[in-house]
Amino acid sequence: MSASPTSTPTAPTPVPHTVGDQALTPMPGMTHSSMREMLVGAVDHSQNGFDPMQMLVDWDYGTLAGETQDGRPIRKYGVSAGDIEIEIAPGIFFPAWAYNGRVPGPSIRCNENDHLRIDFANFGTHPHTMHFHGFHRAEMDGVEGEYRGAINPGESFTYEFDADPFGCHLYHCHAAPLKRHIHKGMYGAFVIDPLAGRAPAREFMMIMNAFDTNFDGGNEVYAVNTVGHEFMRRPIPIKVGELVRIYLVNIVEFDLINSFHLHAHFFNYYDTGTTLEPTLRMVDTIMQAQGQRGILEFRPRYPGRYMFHAHVSEFAELGWMGFFNAVSEADYPAALAEVGLDEEWDFKSLNGATPRETEGS
């Protein structure tokens, strides 16, 4: 991208701008005139029922439901499938199939070796499944035509398996035609925390996704967490010097490769998140095929706004780009307020790891 901001960390100076004869007020995050064209208006997150900014930090830990015979926690999750219409860019609506009324679905998180019970109910109009990446028996693989197979509208099924191995995984529907069920929105993050833990960090869940709005077998809108350009409008607040950890998943249908590039910084990368040591060190771009995922860690070095985006220019221009806003401790409350966030979001971003309720008992 040649559109990197050259401004200082201070807020951009508003520039008068019109479309037709309508005067527009620049919004936070607009720092370049060419970007302004793509940022007219805003998505109504309350109408969607989910906010990509909250999705960064919202984890579903399920509810504890006793222990296995050998003393491991049992976690129960409730997931329903349904049909909803979502706004994926200002004024652009998409008829989605969704888990728990959101795209991506709930970010399921647990500790290594927890025993998981996922109660799945299909309230949609098509057969669906939940296919988890991870070790499990074939009966729990959630593939249409195999074992229990597709869960028809009005039916339910409980997927049950141990959380293994630790890492940054995903789940998605595995009903036919697969590419349709996936691109309609049936996927979510599945993060298993290692028993050894990871270093404290500000953590974010990012799913790289895309939407074929005219059903021609190609995508028209690309994003992280569904809404194109959302993090251009609302830069993600982080603090200079702190460890930032991103759980990154690529679920984009139709395009072979997606990528993540961070401006002005280098990061360590843990491929699939299944190791405690980085599998790549000091890189600023990684690529993921569909279904690939991994964990990125970096420390913001200087204050300012830093872009992150697909290093596939087409994807970036069609929505898959955003900003981190790195600020000092003192400036952090203002950075939160600027994008409509509060202390609760700050707390959640710093406390993402699965609680260990049973420790010491």
Q: Which is nearer to Cu ion, 1 or 176 (CB)?
A: 176
Each residue 208-247 as x (binds Cu ion by CB under 5 A) or -, in order, gives ----------------------------------------
Contacts of 90 (CB under 8 A, 6+ apart): 40, 41, 42, 43
By CB under 5 A, the count of residues binding Cu ion is 5
- Collapsed DSSP state (helix, strand, coil) of residue 198: coil
- The answer to the question of residue 86 lying near Cu ion (CB under 5 A) is no
Of 128 and 245, CB closest to Cu ion: 128
The smaller minimum CB distance to Cu ion, of residues 75 and 128, is found at: 128
The residues, ordered by sequence, that sit 6+ positions from 168 with a Cβ below 8 Å of its Cβ are 189, 191, 247, 248, 249, 270, 272, 273, 293, 294, 295
Query: Segment contacting Cu ion (CB under 5 A): 41-49, 131-139, 182-190, 317-325?
Result: 182-190
Of all residues in this chain, which one has the CB nearest to Cu ion in the complex? 173
Q: Is 182 in the site for Cu ion (CB under 5 A)?
A: no
Stretch in the footprint of Cu ion (CB under 5 A) among 18-26, 56-64, 185-193, 345-353 = 185-193
Name which of 116 and 130 has its Cβ closer to Cu ion: 130
DSSP symbols for 63-115: EEEEE-TTSPEEEEEEEEEEEEEEEEETTEEEEEEEETTBSS---EEEETT-E
Q: How far is the CB of 76 from Cu ion (least distance, A)?
A: 22
3-state secondary structure of 140: helix
Span interacting with Cu ion, options 88-96, 172-180, 264-272, 306-314, rule CB under 5 A: 172-180
Near Cu ion by CB under 5 A, which window of 2-10, 138-146, 170-178, 217-225?
A: 170-178
Residue 186 or 223: the one with the smaller Cβ distance to Cu ion is 186
CA–CA dist 117, 132 (Å, integer) = 12
User: Could you say which residues in the range 117-136 bind Cu ion, by CB under 5 A?
Assistant: 128
- Supply the minimum distance, in Å, between the C-beta of residue 61 and Cu ion: 24
Q: What are the Cα distances from residue 268, in Å, to 17, 273, 279, 297, 351? A: 40, 11, 8, 5, 21
- In contact, 182 and 252? CB cutoff 8 Å: no
Instruction: State in angstroms the smallest separation of the CB of 84 from Cu ion.
Output: 13
DSSP reduced 3-state for 28:
coil
Whether 345 contacts 57, CB under 8 Å: yes
Would you put residue 282 in left (φ > 0), alpha (ψ -120 to 50) or beta?
Answer: left
Q: Closest approach of Cβ 205 to Cu ion, in Å?
A: 21
Q: Which of 56, 88, 173, 232 binds Cu ion (CB under 5 A)?
A: 173
Contact by Cβ (8 Å): 222, 264: no
Stretch that binds Cu ion, among 25-33, 99-107, 167-175, 271-279 (CB under 5 A): 167-175
The answer to whether residue 186 forms part of the interface with Cu ion (CB under 5 A) is yes
Q: Which is nearer to Cu ion, 109 or 128 (CB)?
A: 128
Pick one of 175, 191, 262, 307: the residue that binds Cu ion (CB under 5 A).
175
R_g of the chain computed on alpha carbons = 20
The minimum distance between CB 97 and Cu ion, in angstroms, equals: 6
Give least dist CB 185 to Cu ion, A.
Answer: 9
SS3 of residue 332 by DSSP: helix
The CB-of-72 to Cu ion minimum distance in angstroms stands at 30
Query: According to the binding rule CB under 5 A, does residue 79 interact with Cu ion?
Result: no
d(CA 299, CA 360): 33
Chain residues that interact with Cu ion, rule: CB under 5 A: 128, 173, 175, 181, 186
